[in-house]
Amino acid sequence: MKNRILPERSIKRDKPGQQPERIQKLLAQAGIASRRKVEQWIVEGTISVNGAVAKLGDKITVYDEVKLRGRPVKLAGKLRVDTKVLIYHKPTGEIVSKNDPEGRTSVFKKLPRLKAGRWVAVGRLDLNTQGLLMFTNDGDLANKLMHPSQQIDREYAVRVMGVVSNEMVENLVNGVELEDGKARFEDVQESGGEGINRWFHVVVAEGRNRVVRRLWESQGCKVSRLIRVRYGSVFLPPGLPMGRSQMMDKKEVEALKALVDNEPSV
């Protein structure tokens, strides 16, 4: 039987999900899970497409019947939702996880509810770090913003205990060998303070665990306070109180998307 060719006007090409895309990309865009998690599900054989077990490399559209562990995944409705990005001013003492066996407060409990999809954190901040944390309902955007290939700047205000010499700063900018490989600051700027408590603004282009603290510790200094103030083109709003969130407007979201318009390999 010949394939039926639909009239051109019946295909709305500006709608997300109507052109074939890799399974992990569409499910991430819909906020189901991260790409890596979806790939894991595919390998485990828990995703089916049109009644057949999905394989890595398979492409789908919103018109395909996708099931996760036998339950239908309704992509069309989720992908029609506009991309939202939320800025949250994280206080110290909160974890960036939905579940914690120790019962600590989760940042997710402070976020506004979505009508569809879920909030995905763009990177993490450890328990004792405060400042800018972003969330989006677009899992694909979150994945791109976190991907190491993007080399997106993260700027921190950091209070350092210890005498900081010019030689130390040169070491930090040139690169220091840590236990998990070489790391460096893209920039270091002194920003005030007295005695052994000095403030600096530093920039890193990666999201490695505790990398800012570990870099300073490599020079014999201790970080007594750490605040993320910028992620790419997004700054922590000066009037946003700790524990509160603020939705980005459409123009700001488009500017954020422009940072990652080249899709990283997965």
Counted domains in the chain: 3
Q: From residue 72, how far is each of 23, 38, 140, 142, 148 by CA, in Å?
A: 14, 15, 20, 24, 33
Please check whether residues 178 and 224 belong to one and the same domain: yes
Catalytic: 180? no
Please check whether residues 227 and 182 belong to one and the same domain: yes
C-beta separation of 16 from 9 below 8 A: no
C-beta separation of 32 from 71 below 8 A: no
Rounded distance, CA 57 to CA 60, Å?
10
Please check whether residues 219 and 92 belong to one and the same domain: no
Residue (of 61, 60, 78, 69) closest to 120 by Cα position:
78
Locate the DSSP E strands across the chain: 21-22, 47-49, 52-53, 59-60, 66-68, 71-73, 85-90, 120-122, 130-136, 154-161, 176-178, 181-183, 187-194, 197-204, 222-231, 234-235, 245-247
Please check whether residues 59 and 169 belong to one and the same domain: no
- Rg of the chain on CA atoms, in Å: 22
Residue ending a domain, choose from 79, 111, 132: 79
What is the model's pLDDT at position 62? 83
Per-residue model confidence as pLDDT tens for the chain (266 residues):
333 333 333 334 445 556 788 999 888 888 788 888 999 999 999 999 999 999 999 999 888 889 999 999 878 766 766 889 999 999 999 999 988 888 899 999 999 998 777 899 999 999 999 999 999 988 888 888 988 888 899 999 999 998 899 999 999 999 999 999 999 999 999 998 777 789 999 999 988 899 999 999 999 999 999 999 999 999 999 999 999 999 999 999 988 988 887 544 44
Please check whether residues 248 and 121 belong to one and the same domain: yes
Q: Which domain holds residue 70?
A: 8-79
In this structure, what CATH number is given to the domain that contains residue 138?
3.30.2350.10
Of the candidates 14, 58, 100, 126, the residue annotated as catalytic is 126
Burial 217-234 (b: 16+ CB within 10 A, else e): eebebebebbbbbbbbeb
Please check whether residues 142 and 162 belong to one and the same domain: no
Please check whether residues 74 and 97 belong to one and the same domain: no
Backbone angles phi, psi at 148, to 5 degrees: -55, -30
What is the model's pLDDT at position 89? 98
